[in-house]
Amino acid sequence: MSDSEKAAFGDAVRSYLLENPQVILEAVDVLEQQQQQAEAARDDALVGANLQEIQNDGYSWVGGNPEGDVTLVEFMDYRCGYCRKAVPEIEALLAADKNIRFVIKEFPILGEASVLSSRFAIATKLVAGDDAYKSVHDTLIAFQGEPNEVALRRMAEGLSLDADAILAKMNDAEVTEQIQRTRSLAQTLSISGTPTFVLEDEMLRGYLPAEQLQIMVDDIRAGRS
């Protein structure tokens, strides 16, 4: 095209867009859809490549039905408001569907209070086992104060746990390693916020109600039949 032809073509395109601005919005919608599809495909690939570490790391707490046919994993932070909002939704889902395996990933990203809370929860699991961990987890997720030594000791004693042993374990290398492994996995999966769920091989970023999760679980089972 000559310079004059290029100029004429540009003027024609400009005039068309000014007369039909909805075309720009339609193009933006298509671009956003393409980007979402690309991000979903990337997430699927990342999850597929790391599924064993996501679902069976050997240290994260496993609840619901440990032998369930569908696994739901949550990366969570005790100071995260949406993680707290998600608790009754997850409890409702597990109460309604007895065949879901639920894994909690300690992923403290909201400051030192988050780290202390996760250290306390992990130390509890190492010292006193899974049932004690779940009691501490449920207490921490509802706790509104600062998780200092006094508060954590009171929490442990209120649950009839060995506060001295748990507090002494908090800075153990094994606790640190678990947090670092989960952080490394989250970085690999490009997870930067909580809650983030992995339902079987699908990444779900953000809070979701029980009804929506149940629909997804049902779809997974239907796809297997």
Domain limits, the chain: 3-49, 52-224
**Token output for 156:** 């442990």
Query: Phi, psi at residue 70, to the nearest 5°?
Result: -130, 135
Q: What is the pLDDT at residue 193?
A: 96
pTM of the model: 0.83
**CB burial class (10 A; 0-12, 13-18, 19+) of residue 26?**
exposed
**Token output for 108:** 């403290």
**CB burial class (10 A; 0-12, 13-18, 19+) of residue 119?**
buried
Residue 62: strand pairing partners: 103
Q: At 100, is the pLDDT very low, low, confident or very high (cuts 50, 70, 90)?
A: very high
Average the pLDDT over 112-120 and give the result.
Answer: 98
The architecture of the domain spanning 52-224 is 3-Layer(aba) Sandwich (3.40)
Q: Identify the three-state secondary structure at position 28.
A: helix
Q: What is the pLDDT at residue 184?
A: 97
Q: At 139, is the pLDDT very low, low, confident or very high (cuts 50, 70, 90)?
A: very high
Q: What is the pLDDT at residue 25?
A: 83
**Token output for 144:** 């509104």
Q: What is the per-residue pLDDT across 155-205, written as a single tens digit (0 to 9) for each? A: 999 999 999 999 999 999 999 999 999 999 999 999 999 999 999 999 999
Q: What is the pLDDT at residue 115?
A: 98
Q: Which residue has the tokens 């153990």?
A: 172
Angle between helix 210-224 and helix 81-96 axes, rounded to 10 deg: 50
Q: Distance between CA atoms of 35 and 12, rounded to whole angstroms?
A: 29
Question: For residue 4, how many other CB atoms are within 10 A of its CB?
Answer: 8
